[in-house]
Structure formats: structure tokens, C-alpha cells
Structure 1
Amino acid sequence: PPEKPAPAKPETVKKEVPQEEEKYVDVTVKQGDALEKLARAYGVSVQTIQQVNHLPGQVLRPGQVLKIPATKTPPPEEEPVYYTVKSGDNPWTIAKENQVKVDDLLRLNNLDEARAKRLKAGDRLRVK
């Protein structure tokens, strides 16, 4: 009887799996941003941000654009929250009532202490 050919051995084909390219997001530094805050928000280390952007120190300038590895979804932009000044209000009571620091309240509204003391009923302040 004729011999049957041996069954072919299954071939193992190694597929080249392309290494996923590291993706980055561009983040524009805003007033009050710090490396620690950005690192926490994007789930990366301060050192990683410094290395990727060749930063010698930790000083950031508003308007500066940083590349940050996209390890997780960036935090959603918070909608600003406003407060309408009432008679008898001052920056300290407004800050306390809205659970913000007085310094942050002044910074958000571009106020110095002299201008803050001149607030009047009906003025609208950003509190967050």
C-alpha cells in the first residue's frame, strides 16, 4: 500500500507586535500650576515631566507648554464658579463661605488687597 505522507508540522509564526509608541499631551501651564500638581493630575512623576521637557528646576511660567506622557485621561476642566458680593461681604468672609483661600480668591480675580477692600454689593467674583 502507498505510504501516507507524514502530517505537516504546524508552523509557529512569530508576529512582530509593534511596541506602542509613547503618547504625550501638550499642557499649557496656568497661573498657580506646579509640577507636583500636574504630576498628580496626570499620574506621572515630577522627574518624568522634568526629563521629557528638559527642565532644570521646578519653576514653571504661565503660558509654557509641557509635554506630559498620556498615562491617563487628563482631568476635566472645572467650570468656573462665581459669587455675587452682598452688602457687608469682604474677601475673607467670601473665601471662608466658599471654602477657598483668600490668596486664591484674590489671584482668581486679579485683585490686590487695596482693590479687594473696595468690593461692593453686586460685584461678581470667581471663587473656583
Structure 2
Amino acid sequence: MSDLQEIKLALRQFTAEREWQQFHSPKNLAMALAGETGELVALFQWLSEEQSRNLPAERLADAADEIADVQMYLVALADQLGVDIAQAVAQKMVKNAGKYPADRFRRSARKYDDPPQD
């Protein structure tokens, strides 16, 4: 599967085959998404920056599985809410560009509403 539309359709079919639609409310999907995100975060807990960039093959495979779980729940949630993820991302990038102009935020991790540090 190479795009979000294919993923969405595959998830719809997978869910329908198991008659799970009744469980896939936006609330439940958001909660499942948070849980899977927590599992992804746990893989990196206590790792150094260097370790997090050079995961052993088994840990990388685990991360890939958790990333897939997060993506699947995110796509399913967006589908339930009628949100086009690609369009939402494009709109959010425009907002972010306004909040974080490159000339003012280059090499800075501060939030847009934090005062600049001299």
C-alpha cells in the first residue's frame, strides 16, 4: 500500500470482515491511537540520542510495527471524522510556516510563542 487512500480502504475491509465497525467510534480510535503511540514511545525510553538513531534490527522492526499501528489508527480516525489527512497536513503546514518563519526559527527548538533568547 503506497498511499493513504489505499490504507483507508484496506482498513475498512479488514474492519468489515471482522464486524468491528461498532467499536470504531472516534473516541475509541483516538484512545487506541494514544495507546499505540505510547508503545512506540516506550521503545525509545531511556535511549540516548545516538542509540535512538541506531536501533538494532529487532528494535527497528518493533518500531516499524508500532509506527504502522499508529498510522492505521490515525487513518481510521480520520476516516470516521471525514478528515482528508493530506489536505489537513497541507493546511497545517501553511499555518506552521506562519508561526515559524525560517529566518526567525532557524536552529531553534523554541515554541512560536516563547520569547526569543539572545
Larger Rg: 1
**Greater length-normalized contact order (CA 8 Å, ≥ 6 residues apart):** 2
Structure holding more strand per residue: 1
Structure holding more helix per residue: 2
TM-score normalized with structure 2 length: 0.24
TM-score normalized with structure 1 length: 0.23
